[in-house]
Amino acid sequence: MSDNRGTPRRAAVIALAALACLAGGVPAFAEPRPVRIVNDTRHAIVRFHASIVGAGSWEADLLGTYRLSPGQSVTIDLDDGSGECLYDFKAVFDDGDEVVRPRIDVCVIEAYRYTEEQP
């Protein structure tokens, strides 16, 4: 059996924590940033990286053991809790080619398409 002696204090602590998040500019809730990656090339994408612009290094491969075959797509949530919108993308294909696309705004796009015609 429990009593309610700690309830007002617990509520105050939760309220202060929420206020601290808002005052510090840290998002109180993560915003989902789903981006559908579409492979419209003749080669499978075997690795895909997305890093915040200026990160200096690539984040881990977001495909893991999955291969994105020609004609397939996959949706990836790129929210890392930072609130950032601009990401650099890097796709590595099964023929060894790497395609880097800088400054993709994941807050405004729903899909990013890799095609043969891209420079």
Residues 18 and 47: their CA atoms lie apart, in Å, by 38
Of residues 25 and 90, more confidence is placed in 90
Ranges 18-27, 50-59, 90-99, 110-119, most confident: 90-99
How much helix, strand and coil, in percent to the nearest 5, is found in the chain? 15, 35, 50
Distances in Å between the alpha carbon of 68 and those of 30, 48, 78, 83? 27, 9, 17, 27
**Residue 70 falls within a domain, yes or no?**
yes
In angstroms and rounded to an integer, the radius of gyration of the C-alpha atoms of the chain is 20
Q: How many domains does the chain have?
A: 1
pLDDT > 50? residue 2: no
More confident residue, 48 or 16: 48
Q: What is the pTM of this model?
A: 0.71
Could you list the residue range(s) of the whole structural domain that residue 51 is in?
A: 34-115
* CATH code of 42's domain: 2.60.40.2890
- Beta strands at 34-40 and 111-115: parallel, antiparallel or unpaired: parallel
Token couple for 64: 């893991």
Q: 85 or 118: which carries more pLDDT confidence?
A: 85
